[in-house]
Structure 1
C-alpha cells in the first residue's frame, strides 16, 4: 500500500486538525502528558505497594493515585482508538 505524503499545515484539512486534537479534547489531558511515563509511574506505585513497606494510609493514597493514572491511560487509549477508527473510515 503506498504511503501517503506527509502534509504541511498549508495543505492539511480541518479533518486532519480534528484528528490531531482528538486525544487532548477527548481526554482533558495536558499537552505534555505521556502514556509511557504514566505507565512507568503506575508500575513504580505497584512495586511500592507490593513491597509491603507502606503504612496503610499511604498504601491507600498510592493505590488511589495508581487508579487515577490508569484512568488517564484508559481515556488516552480510548481517544486513540477513536482516532484510528476515524482514519479507517476515511480510507
Structure 2
C-alpha cells in the first residue's frame, strides 16, 4: 500500500467536504458488509475508506486548533 502525503495544509483541503467523505465511507462500509464486492475490491475499497478517515481526522484536528486559538484569543482580551 502506498502512503500518500498527509493533507494537513488548508490549501490541499480546499473544496473538500467533510460530510461528503463521511457519506462515502458509510457507502463503502455498507457495500463491504453486504458482500457486493470481490475480495480484491474489498481491500481496495477498505484502503480508500482508511484514507478518507485520515482526511476527516486531519480536518477535525485543524478545526479544533482553530477553535482553541479563538478561545485563547478571547481569554487574552
User: Above 0.5 in TM-score?
Assistant: yes
Cα separation, 2, equivalents of 1:80 and 1:67: 20
> Which of 69, 74, 77 in structure 2 is aligned with 1:86?
69
SS at match of 1:37: helix
2:25 maps to which residue? 42
- TM-score norm. by structure 2 comes to 0.81
Unaligned runs of 5+ in 1: 1-21
- Match status 1:74 vs 2:74: no
Cα separation, 2, equivalents of 1:60 and 1:72: 19
Cα separation, 2, equivalents of 1:45 and 1:32: 21
Q: Once the two structures are superposed, what CA deviation does each residue of 1:8-66 show, in whole Å capped at 9, x if it has no partner?
A: xxxxxxxxxxxxxx9615xx32x110000000000000001101121100000000000
Structure (1 or 2) with the larger CA radius of gyration: 1
- TM-score norm. by structure 1 comes to 0.69
Structure 1: 4+ residue segments shifted above 2 A: none
- Match status 1:61 vs 2:47: no
Unaligned runs of 5+ in 2: 1-7
1:7 maps to which residue? none
SS at match of 2:15: coil
